């Protein structure tokens, strides 16, 4: 169970136990006639605890008064990663506790209306966070990348307040039981290292950026409110089926009115009560980008609550975008709305320049413009959940998503134990709770490249996958493997085989001529063993922009293009049989830990970290638009692209 912060901190700066999964809903905070929101993005006061124990902030109770009163502070933008913002080299690689603080002005009606509920929402804090408001402990959360909340109504309505002070302590230490896992290595040779010196070891290939990565905000609801909504959809001939379930908190005496509106605002179906099914004749289906002439059609589900409370009648109103579509998997196909779907897309990282993994609207829109320019119809959230706003744009643009949890680097035997398993189950609950209503999400991925050949891996992944299916019956579940097909103990439980391979890169260096045989053997072995559709979930080559060699040599742009072409020859054969997708590694270059094998990060992107194209981007663009034309020959946008005219103007 979750521990109080004092007991938790007393265990030491680098270890902690598992917290319970969040209870209740996690609806995205939208404004409505009954709800307001106040963004807290901008500059926060910041300090890293550089003390040897990393616990000075707790010992001196920095949360009890303004942070500046206990020592010097920095200005820190939120959202962002703290690592690359300052010129302090110590801060870039800092492991331990950092402290954030912000004074928030409150509207008077929030503090005086006892029928109003005030909620603090933190979009992501990597990795373990403890939150105080006006010096009072209000929340703890383990795990980055997913939101958590605290109801602070009593604190801000207890007296004549015009503002509140929010303090957040974050620890980015990774242990064998976190997700992703890591280890702390203490260097005890005092002839080589200072006393108490330690480093954070990780088993994943991206930088362990930390901080407040997503928006922080305050929002309100009535004290009787719509807590959660679950929507699943189906299709019966040309009739759309929208199944809904609404959860209410704060009152046992209430009525619910549910309406479904089309894109023009016309009511097309209605329902009453907390659970039901609405039928939509001649429904517009949600189709992926380039798969249909009218992709990404979204309805609006309006839920209106009327409740009786001790304070009198109360109402709440919430609107949820809904896409009507189905997802299914056969022995050799992935089906969306009953039609075969082929993933031609990318793997991504939320990573660019000094923002680290901090959410950024200009970067997000740029990336989506590049995806559409590329003709990509999908991506995988490698290797952690992306911001909620990313998922919303995927819904709007028709970009299909394989939604992956932070289960990357699960390689140590102790990371398959019960403590790790329990936390993994809780993370999947949080991920499904947040993203369950996004039509763009068509499959859950519970891990990337674990040592799934270890003996405990079979039970571990059987349990995680079964739990995820119990949370959401409407989507297939997978994990991404790099194990041998004969040894992988988790593969029997997935719905789709996702395989990473880097032929002629991590072995057979420079020998492009062996790719065809090795890749064909890979596909045939996996399909013969499991009779399930296969996605080539990663493939690629490190490429430094501007490096050119002919004949192609490793790290040149020509080598990256030649390697991709060899993969494509085999993919074009096997996609006619049972291969249902190809996702390039990677969309853009990204930062990693320093090592002699990484020159300023991972350079496998087809775009640079500044989002400029390498030669391979044009190769993939030609391929992806050709694939789109084959699967949607009547799509006007595809026809225009094939004629050399851009179908979109951004």
- The span from the CA of 307 to the CA of 249, in Å, is 10
Which residues have a catalytic role annotated? 449
Helix H segments across 436-478? 457-471
- The span from the CA of 79 to the CA of 125, in Å, is 10
- The span from the CA of 587 to the CA of 384, in Å, is 15
* 71: its two tokens: 């020592």
DSSP state of 264: T
- The span from the CA of 186 to the CA of 434, in Å, is 37
Torsion angle (degrees, nearest 10) of CA 6, 7, 12, 16: -110
Strands (E), 198-298: 198-202, 211-212, 216-222, 225-236, 239-249, 254-261, 267-272, 275-280
Compute the half-sphere exposure of residue 603: CA atoms within 13 Å on the CB side of its CA.
Answer: 18
For strand 163-171 and strand 97-105, is the pairing parallel, antiparallel, or unpaired?
antiparallel
**501-515 as b/e: b if 16+ CB within 10 A:** bbbbbeeeeeebeeb
Assess contact for 101 and 235: CB atoms under 8 A: no
- The span from the CA of 158 to the CA of 574, in Å, is 66
Number of neighbouring beta carbons within 10 Å of residue 253: 10
């Amino acid at each position: 169970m979750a521990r109080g912060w004092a007991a938790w901190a007393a265990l030491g700066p680098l270890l902690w136990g598992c917290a319970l999964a969040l209870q209740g809903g996690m609806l995205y905070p939208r404004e409505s006639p009954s709800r307001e929101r106040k963004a807290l993005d901008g500059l926060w006061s910041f300090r890293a605890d550089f003390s040897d124990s990393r616990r000075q902030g707790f010992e001196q109770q920095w949360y009890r008064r303004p942070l500046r009163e206990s020592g010097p502070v920095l200005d820190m933008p939120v959202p962002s990663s703290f690592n690359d913002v300052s010129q302090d080299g110590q801060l870039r690689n800092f492991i331990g506790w950092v402290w954030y603080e912000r004074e928030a002005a409150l509207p008077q009606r929030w503090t005086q209306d006892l029928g109003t509920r005030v909620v603090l929402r933190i979009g992501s804090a990597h990795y373990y966070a403890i939150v105080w408001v006006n010096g009072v402990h209000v929340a703890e959360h383990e795990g980055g990348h997913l939101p958590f909340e605290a109801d602070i109504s009593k604190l801000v309505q207890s007296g004549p307040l015009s503002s509140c002070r929010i303090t957040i302590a974050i620890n980015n230490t990774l242990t064998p039981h976190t997700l992703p896992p890591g280890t702390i290595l203490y260097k005890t040779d005092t002839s080589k290292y200072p006393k108490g010196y330690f480093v954070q070891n990780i088993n994943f290939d991206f930088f362990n950026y930390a901080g407040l990565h997503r928006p922080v905000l305050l929002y309100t609801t009535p004290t009787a409110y719509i807590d959660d909504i679950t929507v699943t959809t189906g299709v019966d001939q040309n009739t759309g089926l929208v199944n809904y379930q609404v959860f209410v908190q704060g009152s046992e005496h209430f009525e619910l009115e549910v309406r479904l509106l089309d894109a023009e605002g016309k009511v097309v179906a209605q329902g009453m009560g907390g659970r039901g099914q609405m039928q939509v004749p001649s429904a517009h289906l949600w189709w992926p980008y380039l798969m249909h002439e009218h992709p990404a059609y979204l309805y609006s589900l309006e839920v209106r609550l009327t409740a009786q409370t001790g304070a009198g009648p109360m109402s709440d109103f919430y609107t949820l975008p809904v896409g009507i579509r189905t997802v299914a998997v056969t022995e050799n196909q992935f089906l969306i709305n009953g039609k075969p779907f082929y993933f031609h897309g990318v793997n991504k990282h939320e990573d660019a320049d000094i923002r680290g993994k901090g959410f950024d609207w200009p970067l997000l829109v740029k990336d989506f413009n590049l995806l559409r320019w590329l003709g990509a119809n999908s991506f995988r959230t490698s290797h952690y959940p992306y911001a909620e706003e990313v998922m919303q744009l995927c819904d709007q643009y028709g970009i299909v998503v394989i939604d992956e949890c932070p289960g990357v680097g699960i390689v140590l035997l102790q990371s398959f134990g019960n403590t790790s398993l329990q936390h993994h189950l809780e993370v999947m609950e949080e991920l499904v709770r947040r993203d369950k209503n996004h039509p763009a999400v068509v499959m859950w991925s519970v891990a990337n490249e674990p040592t799934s050949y270890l003996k405990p891996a079979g039970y571990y992944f059987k349990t995680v996958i079964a739990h995820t299916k119990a949370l959401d019956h409407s989507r297939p579940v997978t994990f991404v493997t790099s194990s041998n097909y004969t040894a992988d103990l988790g593969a029997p439980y997935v719905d789709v085989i996702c395989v990473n391979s880097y032929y002629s890169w991590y072995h057979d260096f420079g020998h492009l001529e062996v790719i065809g045989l090795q890749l064909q053997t890979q596909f045939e072995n996996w399909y013969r063993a499991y009779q399930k559709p296969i996605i080539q979930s990663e493939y690629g080559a490190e490429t430094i922009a501007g490096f050119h060699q002919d004949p192609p040599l490793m790290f040149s742009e020509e080598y990256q293009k030649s390697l991709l072409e060899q993969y494509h020859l085999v993919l074009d054969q096997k996609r006619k049989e049972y291969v249902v997708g190809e996702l390039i590694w990677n969309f853009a270059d990204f930062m990693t830990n320093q090592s002699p094998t990484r020159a300023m990060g991972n350079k496998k992107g087809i775009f640079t970290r500044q989002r400029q194209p390498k030669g391979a981007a044009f190769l993939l663009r030609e391929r992806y638009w050709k694939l789109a034309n084959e699967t949607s020959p009547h799509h006007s946008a595809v026809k225009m692209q094939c004629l050399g005219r851009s179908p979109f103007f951004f």
